[in-house]
Amino acid sequence: MELSAEKFISLEKRRKELDDKRIRMEEQLKLKKEELAKVISQIKAEGYDPNKLKDTLTEMEEKLAKDTQEFETQLAKATDLLASVEV
């Protein structure tokens, strides 16, 4: 099958477009990897294990719930004491 010059030019243009797209995607991947490395470094600098963030978050949520409950209990006691004094 004989290839016309126009078809060759069209195919070459598509090849260049795809090559340019590949290069852009490789650059984006490189930048995302660098961003990820920075985030991991920040997480480690804060003293957390990046592989255990889900567990750490669960622990912190549980502690927050417990602390909130304790605060609510203390607030209720303080409210009761003030109410008894105001009578």
Domain ranges of the chain: 1-47, 51-87
Per the structure block, which two tokens stand in for 87?
């009578």
Give alpha helix (H) positions in the chain: 5-45, 53-86
C-beta separation of 34 from 41 below 8 A: no
Quickly state the pLDDT bin for 85 (edges 50, 70, 90): confident
Q: What is the pLDDT of residues 28-60, one digit of tens each?
A: 999 999 999 999 999 999 999 999 999 999 999
pLDDT band at 87 (very low <50, low <70, confident <90, very high): low
